[in-house]
A and B are shown apart, each in its own frame.
Chain A
Amino acid sequence: MRFAFAAIAAVVLALGAAVVAAEEEKPYRVEGNRVDPGTYNGYRRYGNSCLACHGPDGAGSSYAPNLTESLKHLTREQFNEVVINGRQNVTAAQQNVMPAFGQVEDVVTHLDDIYAYLKARSDGALGRGRPQRLDN
């Protein structure tokens, strides 16, 4: 009896975890090139605050990384940490500095949306170019 109970509990937990994990892995909703409002907002906020260094569509520039690659191995927490605190890679061979956006209202209040947009791009769910809004 206890064994079955534990088994059921494990299954429920696993299902729950799977559901939670699925939500965490997909902070966006994409159909073709149409995206949910949060992700669309992320596209615009990205363009305002990040594009100048990280290039169109998160694809990188000669002096800032390709974020569609970066987000393949950054957790959401790590992403938030870098954006909020900034990062410096300054050596004899390179001088790459990302500013800290922790005090920048236009970024921190939309951080989840920016993440959602970049994650959609990184997952290959959303192609390059301006997305359209999903009608909902």
Chain B
Amino acid sequence: MLRRLAVAAVAAASLWAGGASANEELVRLQRDPNQWVMPTGDYANRRYSELNQINRDNVRNLRPAWSFSTGVLRGHEGGPLVIGDVMYVHTPFPNRVFALDLKEPGRIIWRYEPTQDPSVIAVMCCDTVNRGVAYGNGMIILAQADTTVVALDARTGEERWKVRNGDPAKGETMTAAPMVFGDRVLVGISGGEFGVRGHVTAYNLRDGSLAWRAFSTGPDNEMLIDPQRTTHMGQPVGPNSSLQSWQGDQWRIGGGTTWGWYSYDPQLNLVYYGTGNPSTWNPVQRPGDNKWSMTIFARDANTGMARWVYQMTPHDEWDFDGVNEMILADLNVRGQQTRALVHFDRNGFAYTLNRENGQLLVAEKYDPAVNWATRVNMQTGRPEVVREFSTRQGGEDRNTQNICPAALGTKDQQPAAFSPRTNLFYVPTNHVCMDYEPFRVSYTAGQPYVGATLSMYPPRGEQNMGNFIAWDAAQGRIVWSRPERFSVWSGALATAGDIVFYGTLEGYLKAVDIRDGRELFSYRTPSGIIGNINTYMHGGRQYVAVLSGIGGWAGIGMAAGLQGDQEGLGAVGAYRSLQNYTQLGGVLTVFALPTN
């Protein structure tokens, strides 16, 4: 009780007075299981809570305590923040932010809605999602669709500063949640399907002035790469590592966007994130390894200089963006206690690296259906591509068939969870394959620059399009697996109650036993879940909160479903249609155990 009060007092002091430096305050706050102070739960992106009031024995009694409609009917990704007595809820475009009073659930302390030109919607490839707001130094930071980054007073919602991070006329937008670290805030950029040249930018929290920006492609000085010090697979990358891997000026419209999650190690003072696909989706139009798209970056938090990089899918031929979360966990790998980074990539491989020096330790498939590569060569770090599934080998205007995973990957941005009690990872996955046909396209600023068409379906002979798995990142193997009808598109949550939560595209919030994945609880929320499940304490009770609102890339399957595998095209097949299970929505549901 006293500890809770002390924490609340610290949080309140920071909110009201903006006193302690953001670094120390947030490092401390992110360890407090009673609150949820950053979109990723903690800097390590573990999505783990020490709370165990809700646990394996009683989670079946969980029920809705209150709910809140956001008033928006697009895909709701991300989840709310809880700081002290206030919950901060964000929405897809128009990117509303609500500060809700937890002492009087549903009372809106303040609300903020930016004014944005709606034409930005037209350049958001995959729905108008937003993955959440960040908190730091008494401010709430919102990254708007139109690339405005705005800092709001956490107490009143008033604008403190505002800065433009990009240009929607060039196809640049923003969807990712910012991350506050030190006295800075890190943001990315979206638009890989529009020929946008990706970058991450750190702004000073105090006034929104630029601290540093690091591009994903191009000259070393713009990428903040040191040819002698920045390493890849233990070797210096050398001068012009990016430029040499592109033909001509292609790197200027090179993609490598940064729309995923960011993590931070305060001790190493390194920031970690991944870059997206190289534009276009037609690999024949962009020969070369296309560095540094599809790459894990570790950057010095103060200067932005890249310490190490690792490119997972050189010369991408399938749209396997590398932006998924980088989970920082200390693991025993082959007898060595290691400061590890674990990443479940779109390309179907789960990577374990040493997060200090970028050494590649494990790279294994986390869905047995993955077929585009046989393995990752652990000496070179390169995947060994299977010719049959290489869309470049297939060539332009030729349909390469039955590639697994589909472009949406074995996992997209929906983040996994890690439990230090089991040392295992709990991963929402897609179980979908594709046909992919590249063809030649021309670039126009602000217009789609895609260059491929695809059909998607479950792996041949299978019905389910998703699995929720437990993964051992030290050994690189699946420990248990639960099939789901549709892709599991929500962010997971693991708790010390030895349960794992996730949401389904039909709208179910589920809790499973952390030991074997056995379902312990299930509740049908108002709409499909593509958000992340968070948990916090208030008034002595533990709550679990999740946003419902189908959309995102999963919304593509909404109306009539991804096509089912069928014998003989043109036959009327049994297409699994998500719209038979859910409709649009925009609701936050908060669950708790009954009080008696």
Interface residues of chain A, those whose CB is within 8 Å of chain B, are 32-33, 43-44, 46-49, 51-52, 55-57, 59-63, 66, 86, 88, 90, 92-101, 103-106, 126-132
Q: Which B residue's beta carbon lies closest to that of A105?
A: B442
CB pair B558–A56 under 8 Å, yes or no, is no
CB pair B444–A105 under 8 Å, yes or no, is yes
A51: B residues at CB distance < 8 A? 453-454, 556
One of B15-23, B120-128, B289-297, B382-390 at the interface = B120-128
CB pair B572–A97 under 8 Å, yes or no, is no
Contact of B557 among A52, A55, A98 (CB under 8 A): A55
Query: How far is the CB of B503 from the nearest CB of chain A, in Å?
Result: 16
- The residue in A47, A49, A63, A100 that gathers the most chain B C-beta atoms within 10 A of its C-beta is A63
B399 at the binding interface (Cβ < 8 Å): yes
User: In whole angstroms, how far apart are the Cα atoms of A97 and B120 in the complex?
Assistant: 8
CB pair B550–A62 under 8 Å, yes or no, is yes
B584: A residues at CB distance < 8 A? 62
CB pair B450–A48 under 8 Å, yes or no, is yes
The answer to whether residues A96 and B451 also contact, given A60-B558, A60-B560, A63-B74 and a CB cut-off of 8 A, is no
User: In whole angstroms, how far apart are the Cα atoms of A47 and B455 in the complex?
Assistant: 9
CB pair A55–B570 under 8 Å, yes or no, is no
Contact of A48 among B441, B571, B573 (CB under 8 A): B441
The answer to whether residues A33 and B447 also contact, given A44-B437, A105-B442 and a CB cut-off of 8 A, is no
A32: B residues at CB distance < 8 A? 570
**When A and B form their complex, which 5 residue pairs have the shortest distance between CB atoms, in order from nearest?**
A47-B453, A33-B570, A62-B555, A99-B122, A59-B560
Query: How far is the CB of A124 from the nearest CB of chain B, in Å?
Result: 10
Q: Which B residue's beta carbon lies closest to that of A92?
A: B71
CB pair B118–A48 under 8 Å, yes or no, is no
One of B133-141, B178-186, B561-569 at the interface = B561-569
Interface residues of chain B, those whose CB is within 8 Å of chain A, are 71-75, 93-94, 118-119, 121-123, 125-128, 193, 399, 435, 437, 439, 441-442, 444, 447-448, 450-456, 550-551, 555-563, 566, 568-573, 575, 584
The answer to whether residues A95 and B74 also contact, given A48-B451, A55-B557, A129-B455 and a CB cut-off of 8 A, is yes
Contact of A61 among B119, B447, B559 (CB under 8 A): B559
B559: A residues at CB distance < 8 A? 55, 59-62, 66
The answer to whether residues A57 and B563 also contact, given A52-B126, A63-B127 and a CB cut-off of 8 A, is yes
User: In whole angstroms, how far apart are the Cα atoms of A52 and B556 in the complex?
Assistant: 7
The answer to whether residues A132 and B556 also contact, given A62-B584, A63-B74, A95-B94 and a CB cut-off of 8 A, is no
Q: Which A residue's beta carbon lies closest to that of B582?
A: A62
CB pair A99–B558 under 8 Å, yes or no, is no
B575: A residues at CB distance < 8 A? 128
The answer to whether residues A52 and B125 also contact, given A33-B570, A61-B555, A63-B555 and a CB cut-off of 8 A, is yes
Q: Which B residue's beta carbon lies closest to that of A99?
A: B122
B127: A residues at CB distance < 8 A? 61-63
CB pair B122–A97 under 8 Å, yes or no, is yes
CB pair A130–B569 under 8 Å, yes or no, is yes
CB pair A66–B447 under 8 Å, yes or no, is no
CB pair A47–B563 under 8 Å, yes or no, is no
B571: A residues at CB distance < 8 A? 127
User: In whole angstroms, how far apart are the Cα atoms of A91 and B270 in the complex?
Assistant: 43
CB pair B119–A97 under 8 Å, yes or no, is yes
The answer to whether residues A57 and B560 also contact, given A32-B570, A52-B193, A130-B569 and a CB cut-off of 8 A, is yes
CB pair B450–A61 under 8 Å, yes or no, is no
A86: B residues at CB distance < 8 A? 122
User: In whole angstroms, how far apart are the Cα atoms of A51 and B447 in the complex?
Assistant: 14
Extra 8 A-B pairs, beta carbons < 8 Å, given A33-B569, A104-B447:
A55-B556, A56-B562, A56-B563, A60-B560, A61-B557, A62-B584, A127-B572, A129-B566
The answer to whether residues A103 and B122 also contact, given A59-B560, A129-B563 and a CB cut-off of 8 A, is no
CB pair B122–A95 under 8 Å, yes or no, is no
User: In whole angstroms, how far apart are the Cα atoms of A129 and B571 in the complex?
Assistant: 10
Q: Which B residue's beta carbon lies closest to that of A52?
A: B125
Q: Which B residue's beta carbon lies closest to that of A67?
A: B559
User: In whole angstroms, how far apart are the Cα atoms of A51 and B354 in the complex?
Assistant: 39
10 residue pairs bridging A and B, Cβ less than 8 Å apart:
A33-B570, A47-B437, A55-B556, A55-B557, A61-B555, A62-B551, A99-B447, A127-B569, A130-B455, A131-B569
CB pair B563–A48 under 8 Å, yes or no, is no
Query: How far is the CB of A7 from the nearest CB of chain B, in Å?
Result: 44
User: In whole angstroms, how far apart are the Cα atoms of A97 and B562 in the complex?
Assistant: 23
CB pair A44–B453 under 8 Å, yes or no, is yes
Query: How far is the CB of B19 from the nearest CB of chain A, in Å?
Result: 39
Q: Which B residue's beta carbon lies closest to that of A62?
A: B555
A132: B residues at CB distance < 8 A? 569
CB pair A88–B118 under 8 Å, yes or no, is yes
CB pair A55–B118 under 8 Å, yes or no, is no
Query: How far is the CB of A86 from the nearest CB of chain B, in Å?
Result: 7
CB pair A97–B121 under 8 Å, yes or no, is yes
Query: How far is the CB of A87 from the nearest CB of chain B, in Å?
Result: 10
Q: Which A residue's beta carbon lies closest to that of B449?
A: A106
User: In whole angstroms, how far apart are the Cα atoms of A46 and B450 in the complex?
Assistant: 11
Q: Which A residue's beta carbon lies closest to that of B570?
A: A33
Query: How far is the CB of A57 from the nearest CB of chain B, in Å?
Result: 7
Q: Which A residue's beta carbon lies closest to that of B116?
A: A95
CB pair A47–B569 under 8 Å, yes or no, is no
A130: B residues at CB distance < 8 A? 399, 435, 455, 569
CB pair A66–B555 under 8 Å, yes or no, is no
The answer to whether residues A99 and B74 also contact, given A48-B441, A61-B555, A61-B558 and a CB cut-off of 8 A, is no
